[in-house]
Structure 1
Amino acid sequence: MDLTTVLGKDQGLLALSMGIEWHELSPEYSVATMPVEGNTQTFGILHGGSFVVLGESMGSIAANVYAHQNGLGTAVGIEVNASHTGSGISGFVIGTCRSLHLGRTLTTHEIVCTNEEGKRLSTVRITNLIKKAAG
């Protein structure tokens, strides 16, 4: 999926350098993948911050799609948290993003990160503030 077509811009250098690829994108439901290789910490497992980058990227982009579709402005993250419950060792992490709240000023998304076998590795939650367009 080409984010430039959807948003008029790409996903940013950090997400690109981490190999995040989009497969589905809507304000309510999105799917993206990220390779474990190249995103590991000292002990060879996926760095916990990688889950946060995947989750924050997914939630922020979904919130911006919502904000732009509804003429509300631009969404910016104001809170993110993550609970890691497993380790990514190889292959790909699959992020599934679902909206919990889509309002005029706030959005909240939950991103469940699993391995290719479907085992939950991390749960990320992000709240975005929608800033009205200037003018």
Structure 2
Amino acid sequence: MNATPDWLRDVHSPLDDRLGVVITELSPERVVGSMPVDGNQQPFGLLHGGASGVLVETLASMGAMAHGYPDRVGVGVDLNVTHVRAARAGHVTGTATAIHLGRSIATYRVDIVDDKGRLTATGRLTCHMIPARPAP
């Protein structure tokens, strides 16, 4: 069984590419992805909080996209991230779990852990479900 849908190959985010985000599991109910700490640190050598925010928003938005596919996509309208432990090396992995999957709103909780499975951040994203634009 493929853990990601075929259409994911055609969805690209230059920011996610730059940060090294890789999605390994994708369904409307659950999304898993990771990114390296190296290259995504703030000046003190810790994973940048904004990079964690990108991971939260990416995973939850892709879950919302899977929820609405092919007619609707989710765009983030409310993001919060709480950082609880620093990550200095290796990778961080986020798991987005659907809290609400409605016609116009989708909300996800995302937990981010380090390579040792320790929670580094937790976040929530609420997406507004909008009509998908036709492919060019």
What TM-score do the two structures reach when normalised by structure 2? 0.89
- The aligned residue for residue 49 of structure 2 is 48
Q: Which secondary structure state, in structure 1, belongs to the residue aligned with residue 68 of structure 2?
A: helix
**Superposed displacement of residue 22, structure 1:** 1.2
- The aligned residue for residue 111 of structure 1 is 110
**Superposed displacement of residue 132, structure 1:** 3.5
Map 1:24-103 → 2, pairs under 5 A: 24-68=25-69, 71=71, 73-103=72-102
Asked if 1 retains the 8 angstrom alpha-carbon contact of 2:5 and 2:26, the reply is: no
Q: Which secondary structure state, in structure 1, belongs to the residue aligned with residue 23 of structure 2?
A: strand
Unaligned runs of at least 5 residues, structure 2: none
What is the RMSD computed on CA atoms of the aligned residues?
2.0
**Superposed displacement of residue 76, structure 1:** 1.0
- Equivalents in 2 of 1:96, 1:63: separation in Å? 14
- The aligned residue for residue 13 of structure 1 is 14
Distance change (3 Å), C-alpha of 1:122 and 1:61 = same
Calculate percent identity across the aligned residue pairs.
Answer: 33
Asked if 1 retains the 8 angstrom alpha-carbon contact of 2:4 and 2:24, the reply is: no
Asked if 1 retains the 8 angstrom alpha-carbon contact of 2:60 and 2:108, the reply is: yes
Q: Which secondary structure state, in structure 2, belongs to the residue aligned with residue 50 of structure 1?
A: helix
Query: How many matched pairs?
Result: 132
What TM-score do the two structures reach when normalised by structure 1? 0.90
**Superposed displacement of residue 3, structure 1:** 6.9
- Equivalents in 2 of 1:90, 1:105: separation in Å? 38
- Equivalents in 1 of 2:103, 2:112: separation in Å? 27
Q: Aligned letter for 2:12?
A: Q
- Equivalents in 2 of 1:57, 1:88: separation in Å? 19
**Superposed displacement of residue 23, structure 1:** 1.0
Distance change (3 Å), C-alpha of 1:2 and 1:101 = closer
Distance change (3 Å), C-alpha of 1:25 and 1:4 = closer
